[in-house]
A = this chain, B = another copy of it.
Amino acid sequence: MPPKRQHKADAKAAAHPHAKPRPLTRIQREKQDLILEAALDVFSMHGFRGSTIDQIAEVAGMSKPNLLYYFPRKEEIHRRLMSALLDTWLAPLKEMDATGDPFPEIRSYIRRKLEMARDFPRESRLFANEMLQGAPRIIEMLEVDLRNLVDEKAQILLGWMDQGKLAHTDPYHLIFSIWATTQHYADFDVQVRAVLGKDRGGEGRFEDAARYLEQLFLFGLTPRSTAPRKS
């Protein structure tokens, strides 16, 4: 078994483990953003292993060595995208406020998530891709940060249920169902468009989805003493 070749960047980091990164110039930041933008395009469609630096460089409109001048390794580009993503991803749920009333809070949470699916579909797909692969690069953040956040919000939901303001149900699966239904419009966009066709599949589909989901969750989660009908 031949020894793995050591990368230049690795050697550098090993020599100066605490070297301070000097601040970037405007040009550098712009180029990096250009690359990250292109990488988001490619990674979100093909996943990490399915994407090539060549593709990213082409989308970014530069040569491969030039791209590697700004990001020494493919992994580094992906890492940067992922860490930026997680913050944005948790933000909408963080806003759910215990002092508010459940239906306005849940309603606007759904709206925010649906807007993210509409305005940042690539980010959604990047996240989905990572999930499908078993989340190797973010599993720890899921088990700590995400879990703690969801635990906290589940407590809020339980509180509303105890106050009789919300139907008694499983708060974790409630949150899952909001994630699933909203992200679906980004992750399965091709399928949604194919089913709705050209006429009904335009931008109006997000409005239709918002109306439908609002109704589903409003009626579905309204507290009641007796079941409205036997199945």
Number of this chain's copies in the assembly equals 2
State whether the Cβ of A49 lies closer than 8 Å to any Cβ in chain B. Answer: yes
How would you classify the secondary structure of chain A's contact residues: helix, strand, loop or mixed?
Answer: helix
State whether the Cβ of A167 lies closer than 8 Å to any Cβ in chain B. Answer: yes
Interface residues on A, range: 35 or more
State whether the Cβ of A155 lies closer than 8 Å to any Cβ in chain B. Answer: no
Question: Which B residues are CB-close (under 8 A) to A184?
Answer: 176-177, 179-180
In Å, the complex CA distance between A215 and B197 comes to: 31
In Å, the complex CA distance between A216 and B191 comes to: 24
Binding site for B on A (CB under 8 A): 44-51, 103-104, 107, 125, 128-129, 131-135, 139, 142-143, 146-147, 150, 167, 169-170, 172-174, 176-177, 179-181, 183-185, 187-192, 194-197, 200, 208-209, 211-222, 224, 227-229, 231
